[in-house]
Amino acid sequence: MKEEILRLVRERGLLLEKGVIDLLDSFSDSGAARDFLIEIEKFSGEKMITLGLLNKNIQFVSSIVRKLDGQEKSIIENTFIRLGISLEVRRETKIVGENEIRPRTKEGSEYRIFYADTKPDKKLEVKDFTYHFRARYQSLQRILMQRPELQNNLMSINKISSDRQSLSIIGIVSEKRITKNKNLIIKFEDLTGDIVGLVKVDKEELFTKANEMQLDDIVGIKASGNRDMLFIHDIFFPDAFILEKTRFDEDAYIGFISDIHCGSDRHLGRSFERFLEWMNSDEETAKKIKYLFIVGDNVDGVGIFPGQEDVLKLKSMKEQYALLASYLKRIPKSVTMFMCPGQHDAVRVAEPQPIIGKYYAEGLYDIENLTLVTNPTLIKLIEKKNGIEKEFRVLMYHGASIHSFINEIKELRDMKAHRCPAKAVRHMLKRRHLAPVHGEVVYIPNADKDPLVIEEVPHILCTGEVHRLDIENYNGVLILTGSCWQAQTPFEEKVGNIPDPAKFPVFNLKTGELKIFDFGVEEEIKKVY
């Protein structure tokens, strides 16, 4: 193997199957071979590069080969043939791990998928968390700098002098404490330094806003003071706004389900059968459903919590995914499905979560109209007519952080927001981040870009996790927390959570109308276990 490739393999800790080594040796240009290997590793997220991995992602591999120069391209194509791999793109191929456009067969309609970057490219170190927070700060700083309220006298913390002045800063909340006089002291940091700010308890509205801030929130503040202390006059979250609603010309619906929990002894199989029968019926709305978003916890999993084996009907992941696949194969082929994982699925718990793998869920890969996506994922539905392109954005996030928002924010605790979880999701949009507090959810740090930052404001933010359908409109963004297809579990009964199962919300892309369908079989839901 060429010395440059050997060096790359050692640097990145790669393992290459013999067939892949033969393939790389067939490149006449070592630089092209190096680029090819880097692209495959980056795309797949795997350190073990095999012919099977190339075959699995053949569409992506083909796109790389097509970019090669004529003679080099011909040599590589012949090498693939010799190795028994066809570069012809198969219709059923599923591509994972990269932003892409997938044209639909119906004229004038397509969509774009923006996957989260889920694969660390090296062994993680403590400094990676530092770089992760730097990247997050810079993303949210750019958003906050667009707010007109902060544009006067905006400065970095190290530029604040010892003279009293009026100013604005953008900082991350690193400490909060109440003084003996019941005032609130907050420590802010930016990339240049730190400073403390004071909010007086007699400023009731401002104090409530300040008290709502969580550690690691990135906010803008207007204040007066000097290097020793700032007196805070106002606080601004990054916030999310949809100023103009997008409406398609086509009269089509998008539907949302989550938390199917296949394999649980409390899985509502009869209720889900009713849903599937309706999807295949001639009912007017059912016939107009074009997209279906499936937002995590698709199976109940194995070993997710102590004693789970006692409440499983299907004891293995493969059995659970086989049941799920048997359901989804019955969804009409005219409906495009997008499925992300949740904590119960066969992926790591740390967010962002990668797509569900083929080892346990092979049956899902045979479903032509199902696209597996990461958690979270932004999907842009596109309508092109008469040279005009319209874009409707749907952000999928299973919602592990919902519980931490409810536990940490007094307003949510007081209203018992597990019964109205969309109130908690509002705070994700307000902070432009799906899980802002370090340690409240497990995550993989990313030095280049925090994938849990809400860079583009969606028209719909859909979640699962809490097993209750709830709906909110926040600054023009529609929030949908998903229902479930599982009866109340022993844990839910213990903590007092009452699920609201078998509800199916559908949204009309033309009119903005939202309909809710109930497919619950009452005796199944209320069965005594």
Domains contained in the chain, number: 3
- For residues 30-48, give the mean pLDDT: 79
Same domain? 290 vs 414: yes
Residue 2 is predicted with a pLDDT of: 66
320 or 81, which is more confident: 320
- How many residues in total does the chain contain? 529
Residue range 20-40: average pLDDT?
83
Cα-Cα-Cα-Cα dihedral of 303, 308, 311, 316, to 10°?
10
Answer with the one of 82, 108, 127 that is the final residue of a domain: 82
**Within-domain flag for 116:** no
Picking from 458, 337, 377, 406, the residue whose alpha carbon sits closest to that of residue 117 is 377
231 with 258, same domain: the answer is: no
Q: Which pLDDT score is estimated for 295?
A: 97
pLDDT given at position 309: 86
Closest CA to 311 of 266, 244, 260, 362: 266
Q: Which amino acid is at 137?
A: Y
- Read off the pLDDT band of 207 (50, 70, 90): very high
pLDDT surpasses 60 at 99:
no
CA–CA distance, 209 with 316 (Å, rounded to integer): 47
328 and 430, same domain (yes or no) = yes
pTM for this predicted structure: 0.78
Rg (CA), the chain: 25
Residue 13: per-residue pLDDT: 76
By the 8 A CB rule, do 170 and 192 touch? no
**pLDDT band for position 1 (50/70/90)?**
low
Helix (H) or strand (E) holding 171: strand 165-178
143 has a pLDDT exceeding 60: yes
Residue 105 pLDDT = 37
Asked if residue 231 is part of any domain, the answer here is yes
Residues 275 and 203 in one domain: no
Mean pLDDT across 28-41: 83
Q: How many Å apart are CA 413 and CA 251, to the nearest integer?
A: 40
Q: Which domain holds residue 390?
A: 253-525
- For the chain, the average pLDDT equals 88
pLDDT above 70 covers what percent of the chain?
93
Query: Which run of H or of E encompasses 133?
Result: helix 126-144
Whether 178 and 264 share a structural domain:
no
Task: Decide which of 56, 82, 108 is a domain's last residue.
Answer: 82
Angle (CA) 160 162 166, round 5°: 55
96: pLDDT confidence band, cut at 50, 70 and 90? Answer: very low
202 lies in the same domain as 346: no
Q: What is the pLDDT of residues 323-354, one digit of tens each?
A: 999 999 999 999 999 999 999 999 999 999 99
- Asked, for residue 102, whether it belongs to a domain, the answer is no
Question: Is the per-residue pLDDT at 293 higher than 50?
Answer: yes
Q: List pLDDT tens digits, range 107-141.
A: 444 899 999 988 776 788 888 899 999 999 999 99
Which residues have a Cβ under 8 Å from the Cβ of 67 and sit 6 or more positions away?
A: none
Q: Which letter does DSSP use for residue 312 in this model?
A: B
Note whether 160 and 227 are within 8 A (CB).
Answer: yes
Tokens 């992941």 locate to 317
- Regarding whether 288 and 162 lie in a shared domain, the answer is no
Asked if residue 136 belongs to a domain, the reply is no
How confident is the model at residue 93, as a pLDDT? 33
Q: Is the pLDDT at 201 greater than 50, yes or no?
A: yes
Cα separation of 232 and 207, whole Å? 10
Residues 355 and 224 in one domain: no
Tell me, yes or no, whether 351 and 313 share the same domain.
yes
Mention every residue, 6+ apart, whose C-beta is less than 8 A from residue 375: 116, 296, 340, 341, 342, 351, 352, 353, 396, 397, 398
Can you list the pairs that 443-447 forms with residues at least 24 positions away whose Cβ atoms lie under 8 Å? 443/350, 443/351, 443/352, 444/118, 444/120, 444/124, 444/350, 444/351, 444/352, 445/120, 445/124, 445/128, 445/129, 445/131, 445/132, 446/117, 446/120, 446/132, 446/135, 447/128, 447/131, 447/132, 447/134, 447/135
Q: How confident is the model at residue 89 (pLDDT cuts 50, 70, 90)?
A: very low
Q: Which of 77-91, 144-158, 453-467 has the highest mean pLDDT?
A: 453-467
Contacts 24+ apart (CB under 8 A), 6-15: 8/34, 8/37, 8/38, 9/37, 12/41, 12/47, 12/121, 12/122, 13/47, 13/122, 14/41, 14/47, 14/48, 14/49, 15/47, 15/48, 15/49
Structural domain contains residue 98 = no
Give the DSSP letter of residue 500: -
pLDDT digits (tens, 9 = 90+) for 463-511: 999 999 999 999 999 999 999 999 988 888 877 788 999 999 999 999 9
Q: Judge whether residue 316 has pLDDT over 80.
A: yes
Higher-scoring residue by pLDDT: 187, 43: 187
Kindly state whether residue 138 falls inside one of the protein's structural domains.
no
**130 in any annotated domain:** no
What is the DSSP pairing of strand 193-199 with strand 184-190? antiparallel
- Three state DSSP letters for 385-450: ECCEEEEEEEEECCCCCHHHHHHHCHHHHHCCHHHCCHHHHHHHHHHCECCCCECCECECCCCCCC
pLDDT recorded at residue 27: 83
Q: What is the Cα–Cα distance from 391 to 296, expressed in whole angstroms?
A: 24
Side chain identity at 36, as an amino acid letter?
F
Confidence of residue 247 (pLDDT cuts 50, 70, 90): very high
Same domain as 272, residue 322: yes
For residue 197, what pLDDT is reported?
Answer: 96
Q: Of the candidates 32, 64, 82, which is a domain's last residue?
A: 82
Pairing between strand 377-385 and 109-115? antiparallel
What integer is the mean pLDDT of 430-457?
A: 93
Q: What pLDDT is recorded for position 528?
A: 58
Q: What is the reported pLDDT for 90? A: 37
Question: Are 170 and 218 spatial neighbours (Cβ–Cβ below 8 Å)?
Answer: yes
Report the CATH number that the domain containing residue 214 is assigned in CATH.
2.40.50.140
In terms of average pLDDT, the best of 4-8, 281-285, 305-309 is: 281-285
* Same-domain status, 193 and 341: no
Averaged pLDDT for residues 234-253: 94
Average pLDDT over residues 316-328: 96
Cα gap 457→15, rounded to integer Å: 40
pLDDT tops 80 at residue 364 = yes
Average pLDDT score over residue span 8-16: 79
Same domain assignment for residues 452 and 477: yes
The pLDDT value given to residue 61: 83
Q: Is the pLDDT of residue 46 over 70?
A: yes
The answer as to whether 121 is a domain residue is no
Q: Is the model's pLDDT at 238 over the cut of 90?
A: yes
Taking 60 as the threshold, does the pLDDT of residue 41 lie above it? yes
Residue 383 is part of a domain; what is its CATH number?
Answer: 3.60.21.50
